[in-house]
Amino acid sequence: MEVVVGPERCTPPANGSAVTIGAYDGVHLGHRHLLAELRRQAMERGLDSVVVTFDRHPATVVRPESAPLLLTDLDQKLELLAGTGVDRTLVVPFDEARARESAEEFVLEVLVGALGARSVVVGEDFHFGHGRRGNVVLLADMGASHGFDVTGVTLDADASGRAVSSTSVRRLLADGDVAGAAALLGRAHQVRGVVVHGDGRGGPELGFPTANVAVPAGLALPGEGIYACWYERPDGTAHAAAASLGRRPTFHSDGGAPVLEAFLLDFGGDLYGEEARVSFVARLRDDRRFDSAEALQRQMHDDVAAARAALASAPG
């Protein structure tokens, strides 16, 4: 997949493009349903398939006080989009000037000028442009004048009939339902961060040396608790892990931000400074305070056994 940053760097394909537009946060099953339709139309008509997305979530500029936590950072989103088989992703920098741009200006600059759109495929409730004035109707009206047609796609629903959306995935994660989130994502929810030094209790005091993963602010984490995870190292090797996501109440009474600590099963080595990829497979229990380090240590033995069993029975 070719990645282009900025519409000014695009050369329209000679044969034209089939284009979709959106934040594509998470690249969940609803997104994949829409992208499959995009690729189908592109193949039938001999067009290049193109995803137009943004370098940040537009809400971080338009309404930063209520912007959602992200399911994927830009690098992970691009990796997931590449896996869908689209030909190109155009990353549009989103800033104050872009936020003030009208929907019509966006269509002329990006869809017509940069991409030579012949087909546009979006969610049926898609909105864009200043004041969210752009929608499927506006796209269809402009397409009639500029040589592209428009398909509004209903996103797939899950087994209970709920529409698959980034919002519904975030809600499940906040509740600690990582299995439910995975069912909508089509994969386990993954966060990435660098392994940093913690307070040093895990190995010397408890006998469970953990990797403290510093997850960048703005990314969605599951609700606090103990989880069975897969921990992927930079060389691509994956290790079973039991992970704690919480405020370490046995040792800390002042709250603070949740900390992600992963104990890798059957592993010994130095992880400091590495980028970790932690995929949440199953929630094992709530995070809670123990009366002593010894009581916590006994529970951690149980957690490791539970994580091992959960990962052994997990699909895939």
Measured CA to CA, the distance from residue 168 to residue 189 in angstroms comes to 13
Question: Containing domain of residue 213, as a range?
Answer: 188-313
Residue 226 in contact with residue 247, Cβ under 8 Å? no
Which range, 152-156, 194-198, 210-214, is most confident? 210-214
Supply the CATH number for residue 251's domain.
Answer: 2.40.30.30
Q: What pLDDT digit, counting tens, does each position of 42-101 carry? A: 999 999 999 999 999 999 999 999 999 999 999 999 999 999 999 999 999 999 999 999
- The neighbour count for residue 24, using CB atoms within 10 Å, is 24
Q: Is residue 173 part of a domain?
A: no
Q: What pLDDT digit, counting tens, does each position of 222-271 carry? A: 999 999 999 999 999 999 999 999 876 455 556 667 889 999 998 888 88
Looking at the structure, tell me whether residues 26 and 114 fall in a common domain. yes
What is the average per-residue pLDDT within 142-156?
A: 92
| Terminal-residue alpha carbon distance, the chain | 25
Q: Is residue 222 part of a domain?
A: yes
Return the structure tokens found at 30: 């609803």
Return the structure tokens found at 7: 């519409």
Supply the CATH number for residue 44's domain.
Answer: 3.40.50.620
Q: What pLDDT digit, counting tens, does each position of 279-301 carry? A: 999 999 988 765 566 777 787 88
Please give the model's pTM, rounded to 2 decimal places: 0.90
Q: Which pLDDT does position 254 carry in this prediction?
A: 60
What is the average per-residue pLDDT within 116-124?
A: 96
Looking at the structure, tell me whether residues 134 and 76 fall in a common domain. yes
